[in-house]
Structure formats: C-alpha cells, structure tokens
Amino acid sequence: MQKDKLITLGICNLAGVLLFGWWYATEFSGFWFEVDKAIFYYFNHLLVESKAFSYFVALVNLRAFDIVAFVAMLGVYYSYYRKSNVEGKRWLFCIGIAMLLSAVVIKQFDNMLPIDRVSASVYFDKLNHDVNFVSQLTGWPTKDRAGASFPGDHGMMLLIFSVYMWKYLGRTAFYKGLLVTFIFSWPRIMSGAHWFTDIYVGAVSFVLVILSWILLSPAADICIDWLEKHIPLRYFLHQR
C-alpha cells in the first residue's frame, strides 16, 4: 500500500475511533445527548403543531418510501452509466456489486457491536415524557420507533454509496451522493425512529473505520477486477 494511502487510512481510522469514543463516553449525557435531545423534541413538537408536517413525516417514513432513496441513488449512478462505453458499463456494474458486498461486510461488524440503544421516541416514552408518535397521529403504518437504532443502517448504506462514488467517479459524484445521503437520512430522525447520532456519529464512524480498509487497501480493486474478468462484455453490448 502506498505511503499516502497509509496516512489517509490512519487519519480515517483515528477520526472514526475518536468520534465514536467521544459519543460512547457520554451516550446519555453531555454534548451529543443534548444535540440528540434538542433535534428530537424540535421535530416531535412540530408533529402536533402542523398536521401537514405530521403527514409529510408519516409519508417519508413508510417502508415503501425507501424505494425513493434507492431510485435517487440509482439515478445518480445511471447518469454516469449511460454515458459510458461497453467496458465502462461493465466496470460500473462491477463497482455496484462491490458496493453491495462492502455493505454486507460492514453489517457484520455492526452485528458484533455490543450496543443496543432504542430509538429516541422509545427512550423518551419510557421516561414518561410527552412523546408524539406519528403513526398514532396519522393512523399510518409508518416507522417511528426502533428497538435497536445504533448505528443507523439506512444512513450507513447511503454513506457507503457516497464514498464509493468519490473513490471511483470523483468529487462531483461524491457531492451528489452526499446530497442524496443528507436528504434521505433525515426522515427517520424527524419521526424519532433514529437519533441524530445514530447516523452522523454511528454510521459515519463505521464508514471511516471499516470502509476505509476496503477502499484504501487493494480489497475493492481486487474484487472489481475479478468481477470484470468473469462477467462477459456481451451482457452490455446493446445497453444504452
């Protein structure tokens, strides 16, 4: 591995560990908890102050709405895919597979994490605080609670997509991916199904530590090269 990549890898790992450690040391007190609490109650109060907002939050937290986030990612990816030649299309297809495999690997580390934090809505409800559940306000089967919310899986998948775009398609693609990540990571926070730190500490720290080893080491490139050698070009000849 090149020296500059080793330095970048070290910085990413240090940043991820420090971010996670800062949060973990004060999980239910201190700076991050105050941020989480303020964001939760800001949106939770809005649910009863605005009927339109409550139905909007209910809509964007329906399970079916997750398809919209996937379509948004696919749209960004396809904008590069359709401009590529046959070899480029195969290369991008292989990157997509590598991206999915990376998500599976990171999920395994997530499963090993000895943290089982309930969502903000459940936490404050157990403390007998006045919590508004958007599913009860609207009568819609929307996601507004979780038994285990850390780190945010939804946000983590979006971040993996963004970083892969940066690695293989450049800074502009990364910014587009970040925009998708930012937009579609907020619905769960607004409903209380996730804490702000589930995504912007948990998911970010996981990506900094684990995904950096995949993308800054030869691992991802080796996977993509292997896939390119085993997927025939003929599958992409007639695609536009």
Q: What is the pLDDT of residues 151-169, one digit of tens each?
A: 888 888 999 999 999 999 9
Pick from 66-70, 90-94, 98-102, 149-153: least confident = 149-153
The pLDDT of residue 240 = 57
176 exposed, middle or buried (CB, 10 Å; 0-12, 13-18, 19+)?
A: buried
For the segment 211-235, the average pLDDT, to the nearest whole number, is 90
Residues, the chain, total? 240
Is the entire prediction scored with pTM above 0.95?
no
- 1 pLDDT band, cuts 50/70/90, is low
Alpha-carbon dihedral angle through residues 106, 8, 27, 148, given to the nearest 10 degrees: -10
Q: What is the 3-state secondary structure (H, E, C) of 63-129?
A: HHHHHHHHHHHHHHHHHHHCCCCHHHHHHHHHHHHHHHHHHHHHHHHHHHCCCCCCCHHHHHHHCCC
Alpha-carbon dihedral angle through residues 104, 177, 151, 107, given to the nearest 10 degrees: 0
Pick from 16-20, 149-153, 176-180: least confident = 149-153
Domains of the chain by residue range:
3-236
Q: How does 14-37 read in b/e, with b if 16+ C-beta sit within 10 Å?
A: eebeebbeebeeeeeeeebeebbb
Cβ atoms of 62 and 142 within 8 Å: the answer is: yes
Cβ atoms of 63 and 143 within 8 Å: the answer is: yes
Q: How far apart are CA 135 and CA 13, in angstroms?
A: 39
CA-based nearest residue to 190, from 29, 67, 58, 71: 58
Model confidence pLDDT, tens digit, residues 64-78: 898 999 999 999 999
The pLDDT of residue 177 = 93
